[in-house]
Structure 1
Amino acid sequence: MTSGRSESDTRRTGRLQPVELAQAAVMAALCAAIAIIAVVVPFAAGLSLVGTVPMGLLAYRHRMRVLLAATVAGGLVAFLIAGMGGLMTVINCAYIGGLTGIVKRRGRGTPTVFVCALVAGALFGIVIVAALGVLSRLRNLIFDSVTANIAGTAAVLERVPGLAPVGERLTRDFATMLHYWPFLFFASGVVSITFVSLVGWWALSRVLKRLAGVPDVHKLEASADTGEIAPTPLTLTDVRFRYPGTDHDALGPVSLAVQPGEHVAVTGANGSGKTTLMLVLSGREPTGGTVERPGAVGLGRIGGTAVVMQHPESQVLGTRVADDLVWGLPPGTAVDVDRLLGEVGLDGLAERDTGGLSGGELQRLAVAAALAREPSLLVADEVTSMVDQDGREDLMSVLSGLTRRHRTALVHITHYNDEADAADRTVTLAGNGADSDNMEMVETADAPSASEESGPPRGVPVLELRDVGHEYGSGTPWAKTALSGIDFTVHEGDGVLIHGLNGSGKSTLAWIMAGLAVPTVGSCLLDGKPVSDQVGAVAISFQAARLQLMRSHVAHEIASAAGFSVRDRDRVITALGTVGLDPALADRRIDQLSGGQMRRVVLAGLLARSPRALILDEPLAGLDAASQRGLLHLLVDLRRRKRLTVVVISHDFAGLENLCPRTLHLADGVLATEPTTAGGRS
């Protein structure tokens, strides 16, 4: 589970839980889409095998009824769009995926799959024979069709010298077999189902085995305690936590107490165990020490514990704001939707589509959804790191007032000094390999005014944007202008900061500059040619570094991103050295890296491609002060020494003046001369 929504022990209750419904809906949509493509697109039937993956994951990780719900939902969608072929493809994917997932989950192997396939094939054959026995006209039509195919094959064979007797015997033997058609179709059903099952098991079991090897270490887990829900007052005594397969503690020893209605800020360097502490507070059992509560944790339940994560997109499940606010609540729960939305600054947005909310609005919606559960303990993990300064102030005003308006204890994990100052007290974590001297907090700075670098250009033009405009949904009633009249040039060796409020068009501009999107009007040129024709020449680092890391180990990730063989050890080590990482990290799993290390691994892979320009989207988000300084020092050195062209999109401005002498400000999709305020938010 990736959010603070309800996750009770699903095996003790019959009905589907919210997290199961969400998983079933996502996997059903994915399987239906694959099935539709496999049926509609010519020669794409082989893609149906891919559809077994989402169904296999459901069967591997959840109950059978979750798989059945996904099958019904996906089958209906596929039937409405692609007809009977789409429905049968979804059912086939559900059968193969379900069989593989269940067998894999129970630790069985190929013999079990073979026996199950024989039974399924026999049942399928009996159904086919019974159906054809009743539907005589359909039986005759199938007979005529198959006979025509056999006759055609026999005719081809008879024209081949020496094979005429084979063609004649094929026609004669098939005619004899039709007299015993029940046995023929029964045997065909058994053979086909068994063959498909074994092929699906061979392919899908390897996928599940690889996925099982990726630890979901940050998954929220509901406590097994079934007593009265009462997470506070909370006392941790010498608590330690060590993740499976590691040789050191990720947290501890930590001793702290949280009283009802108290606002506690938790700070510390990257790697000090802040996220692990969040898991312990929300119910994860520590590997050492004691956690004392008067009752159950009640994660996501009324009066229990709620968690608001750093990336609100992972917590938004409803398509409307009002739907998301009450998602997962027990039936019949009375919720004053308008009051809660007003409290977090989302007045009048109950009917709004959640897909159209800005980052700050999504975070406030996540807070409102948590408050709908009337939690006794609310844990907020870096909730302001992806939000602009005005949105950050709004969120902090909401969080700071929670302990006054509600009987809620608030634990706020943060790197920012002003956010920690707003708490009743601050707990600083230092340990587990984190630098105990690195207790400095991240300082906030005012948004700089738009400016141009003094003096002549540092180099030849690299990126040229000429009257660039972009509109989403062009030609539809939902068309929305994201950019308009953007005109500027980035020269070789330039460092340019682009900032603006959430929703001002920064990410859209970054995608256009990287060639991942084509502007609706105007042009974006790289070395005089459209950048969209040179995808990869401009490297881009996204906000969430983890989502950009696609391989299991560091060396494989860097080699894959840069386009060379992982066997070229020297190039891997050189790439790591370029971003200041220890060569020993080459063999480390991606999931074992800290947030700062993940950002540097992404950067290592991008720089190893020798890009013409580098675009960094929120590179400082989630990093402690020392990590921010180290990354900025590295980038400044690369820009000055290797004349790397850097474009930075950021809400954090402290320390960027050396990396980005130039500043551009976006407001409502256009370049402005002064930073806007909250009142100017789009």
Structure 2
Amino acid sequence: MTTAAPQRTPRRSGSLQPVELAQAAVMAALCAAIAIIAVVVPFAAGLSLLGTVPMGLLAYRYRLRVVLTATIAGGLVAFLIAGMGGFMTVVNCAYIGGLTGIVKRRGRGTPTVVAASLVAGAVFGLFIVGALSVLSRLRTLIFDSVTANITGVAAIMRRIPQLEDAAARLERDFATALHYWPLLFFVMGVFSITWVSLVGWWALSRVMARLMGVPDVHKLETPADNGPVGPIPLQLRDVRFRYPATHRDALGPVSMAVEPGEHVAVTGANGSGKTTLMLVLSGREPSAGTIERPGSVGLGKRGGTAVVMQHPESQVLGTRVADDVVWGLPPGATTDVDRLLGEVGLDGFGERDTGGLSGGELQRLAVAAALAREPALLIADEVTSMVDQQGRDGLMSVLSGLTRAHSTALVHITHYNDEAEAADRTVALTGNGANADNVSGPEMVETAEVHAPRPDAEIEADHRSDPPVLELRGVSHVYGDGTPWAKPALTDIDFAVHEGDGVLIHGLNGSGKSTLAWIMAGLTVPSDGACLLDGKPVSEQVGAVAISFQAARLQLMRSHVALEIASLAGFSKYDQRKVSEALNTVGLDPTLAARRIDQLSGGQMRRVVLAGLLARSPRALILDEPLAGLDAASAQGLVRLLEDLRRRRRLTVVVISHDFAGLENLCPRTLHLRDGQLATVPTAAGGMA
């Protein structure tokens, strides 16, 4: 039985865990890239200080072994590209960052840094003295070089009246110091290391103080449980959870049970605590209440608990699809990768680069990686939110099959009515508790067929001879064009969007929708053809067409709402009137301006992005999967808002979505993408439009 007691996650011992290895790899690559730039680019040596940031964060959050692994990996990469200078830059960053991170983690201050730097300086000084004692030819070369520099400085000083004596004294004192060179180089080593340590501590500690102030509230925490794995059956009794530095519970009280082989659907409005429940089920200690399990959670272990999160980008680590499926499995474990990829609809994707996958394909890959663990408990947090209807049916068939063919228990967090109805039981979260077997919980998102579009002749009649705002002429795009890995994404796309028009673009995952969105926003230049905004290439007018990404959280870069809106809109963060006006435009209370971004619900995040984008008065607005992850009420509110803006402001709106319910009035015009080409649209009646 697990009882609630807030505590810090114990530090691990033994070999590196998959999460530690992943963090070390990412931070090593970042530090190596900075070191290479600092060495290769002229007058860019000062940039090397930035490399201390990833190493400092690594040392603060993980054990010393992780920092050493990152140092070796980053140092080797930097050495191969930039030589010894790159290697030493990585080592220097690792020393400063590691020292700062460890001191911060242990709650110490400047005196500790001074003491540690003196010890490190003494070790460095002794190493230099020992090396020069053995390498006599290198010592002679260094002495001659330094002596030449001192002689040159003295020659310059002699040319200045009244400095002749000072020049002679400089040469004499230097010769004396060089006679006692072991002491000289030892003192220089101690001084240099101490000075670098203090400067790095002063600069990096301020950066880390700001970074550590950003709460990582949705981070999965692997409990330090070394006992037998046994996450199921699971019993929660009056469980509550409150995030640090907040004044209200994000979850609870919740009482529920999950039995082996059971399919439980969890529903609720945005902000009701569904993702928090996922964290608790996967091992996060609750603030109150009790959790009973027969064994350990076994997060990520075979036969334990597997989690597929709402945004799969955070779970995909391998550069190759097949590598990502087996990432983190114990050595010697065998997995039929091709079978798993086929089950989730990624048949033949094993050799594909994960960086070229669409949002829906990434979600399917995350499910395949979870299934490779043969989990006893699988927690799926909105896994179908970025997947088209065909892919959604396939994924649900796979997930439901787990509970029938195996003893795997499935906890599926969803907003869709048909997915909740397919479960054995439904737990409806209301924000202040949960009602088990509640079939009359919050309003659910309805699935729908794509609506029949208005005829093109009628659309053109509305605009008469108005020039188009956006026009695509023979647009084609190939990823990796000219390489053996070339992959066509779009082929010969032609259409125009007029002022005040509402266009829905839909298609299966991987059909090229997101690529088309980036081209229309000017963020990607097509391989062939042209995308024009008011008759000029849109790529030369970046920012004139606003785009809202699939995952709103990835577009929010500032800590607070007011800062984010001001940054997106391009006005001063101190202009409270403009910030309030922007929030009012999207139906948000102006008091939200002072709130942290991580305290917002999914619907509020999307509206904050829209507030900043609309405040720039864009010529057109592109929304990439705007309804993904939103509950029914939030989705309806967002659509009504966009309908009103399109009517009142004559805002040109292009929506890319596989959810069609309620979009008829916002997007009277529909375009269908199939394999990168425009095709006719199947209507609900089964005909073609």
**TM-score using structure 1 length:** 0.93
Map of 1:179 onto structure 2: 179
Map of 2:249 onto structure 1: 249
Match of 2:462 among 448, 456, 466: 456
Map of 2:545 onto structure 1: 538
CA distance in 1, matches of 2:227, 2:142: 62
Alpha carbons 1:449, 1:665 under 8 Å: kept = no
Map of 1:560 onto structure 2: 567
Q: Deviations over 1:298-352 (max 9, x none)?
A: 2222222111112222222233333322322233334344443444344454444
**Aligned partner of 1:53: which letter?**
V
Map of 2:422 onto structure 1: 422
Secondary structure (helix, strand or coil) at the match of 1:412 reads: strand
CA distance in 2, matches of 1:331, 1:581: 51
Map of 1:4 onto structure 2: none
Map of 2:102 onto structure 1: 102
Give, in angstroms, the shift of residue 168 of structure 1: 4.1
Identity percentage of aligned residues: 80
Alpha carbons 1:500, 1:676 under 8 Å: kept = no
CA distance in 2, matches of 1:228, 1:142: 61
Map of 2:293 onto structure 1: 293
CA distance in 2, matches of 1:162, 1:530: 67
**Aligned partner of 2:16: which letter?**
L
Matched, 1:303 2:303: yes
Map of 2:153 onto structure 1: 153
Alpha carbons 1:10, 1:16 under 8 Å: kept = no
Residue range with higher mean Cα deviation, 546-555 or 314-323: 314-323
Give, in angstroms, the shift of residue 184 of structure 1: 2.3
Give, in angstroms, the shift of residue 379 of structure 1: 0.8
**Aligned partner of 1:241: which letter?**
F
CA distance in 1, matches of 2:598, 2:663: 29
Q: Deviations over 1:331-379 (max 9, x none)?
A: 3334344443444344454444434444444333322322222222111
Gapped regions of structure 2 (runs ≥ 5):
1-7, 685-689
Over 3 Å counting, the alpha-carbon distance change for 1:515 and 1:207 in structure 2 is same
Match of 2:619 among 612, 615, 621: 612
Over 3 Å counting, the alpha-carbon distance change for 1:649 and 1:345 in structure 2 is closer
CA distance in 1, matches of 2:677, 2:351: 28
Aligned pairs for 1:440-589 (under 5 A) are 440-448=443-451, 452=456, 453=459, 455-457=461-463, 460-589=467-596
CA distance in 1, matches of 2:609, 2:340: 39
CA distance in 2, matches of 1:512, 1:352: 23
Map of 2:669 onto structure 1: 662
Matched, 1:217 2:220: no
Over 3 Å counting, the alpha-carbon distance change for 1:80 and 1:308 in structure 2 is same
Matched, 1:265 2:271: no
Map of 2:130 onto structure 1: 130
Matched, 1:652 2:659: yes
CA distance in 2, matches of 1:191, 1:676: 77
Map of 1:389 onto structure 2: 389
Secondary structure (helix, strand or coil) at the match of 1:659 reads: coil
CA distance in 1, matches of 2:321, 2:200: 40
Give, in angstroms, the shift of residue 247 of structure 1: 1.7
Give, in angstroms, the shift of residue 113 of structure 1: 0.8
Secondary structure (helix, strand or coil) at the match of 1:456 reads: helix
Give, in angstroms, the shift of residue 227 of structure 1: 3.9
Give, in angstroms, the shift of residue 528 of structure 1: 2.5
CA distance in 2, matches of 1:167, 1:462: 74
Q: Deviations over 1:222-251 (max 9, x none)?
A: 345544322222222332222222222211
Secondary structure (helix, strand or coil) at the match of 1:461 reads: coil
Alpha carbons 1:269, 1:438 under 8 Å: kept = no
Q: Deviations over 1:374-402 (max 9, x none)?
A: 22211110001011222111111111211
Map of 1:5 onto structure 2: none
CA distance in 1, matches of 2:184, 2:683: 76
Residue range with higher mean Cα deviation, 144-153 or 115-124: 144-153
Alpha carbons 2:624, 2:655 under 8 Å: kept = yes
Map of 2:35 onto structure 1: 35
CA distance in 2, matches of 1:150, 1:218: 58
Residue range with higher mean Cα deviation, 665-674 or 218-227: 218-227
Residue range with higher mean Cα deviation, 602-611 or 360-369: 360-369
Give, in angstroms, the shift of residue 515 of structure 1: 1.7
Secondary structure (helix, strand or coil) at the match of 1:455 reads: helix
Match of 2:628 among 621, 627, 633: 621
CA distance in 2, matches of 1:584, 1:432: 23
Give, in angstroms, the shift of residue 506 of structure 1: 1.7
CA distance in 2, matches of 1:76, 1:121: 24
Map of 2:117 onto structure 1: 117
Over 3 Å counting, the alpha-carbon distance change for 1:187 and 1:408 in structure 2 is same
Alpha carbons 1:449, 1:673 under 8 Å: kept = no
Secondary structure (helix, strand or coil) at the match of 2:463 reads: coil
Give, in angstroms, the shift of residue 424 of structure 1: 1.6
Give, in angstroms, the shift of residue 614 of structure 1: 1.3
CA distance in 2, matches of 1:85, 1:221: 37
Give, in angstroms, the shift of residue 572 of structure 1: 1.1
Secondary structure (helix, strand or coil) at the match of 1:585 reads: helix
**Aligned partner of 1:634: which letter?**
L
**Aligned partner of 1:441: which letter?**
M
Over 3 Å counting, the alpha-carbon distance change for 1:146 and 1:298 in structure 2 is same
CA distance in 2, matches of 1:334, 1:486: 44
Map of 1:602 onto structure 2: 609
CA distance in 2, matches of 1:506, 1:418: 25
CA distance in 1, matches of 2:148, 2:661: 78
Over 3 Å counting, the alpha-carbon distance change for 1:471 and 1:352 in structure 2 is closer
Map of 1:61 onto structure 2: 61
Map of 2:4 onto structure 1: none
Residue range with higher mean Cα deviation, 508-517 or 442-451: 442-451
Secondary structure (helix, strand or coil) at the match of 1:56 reads: helix
CA distance in 1, matches of 2:109, 2:643: 55
Map of 1:80 onto structure 2: 80
Alpha carbons 1:157, 1:167 under 8 Å: kept = yes
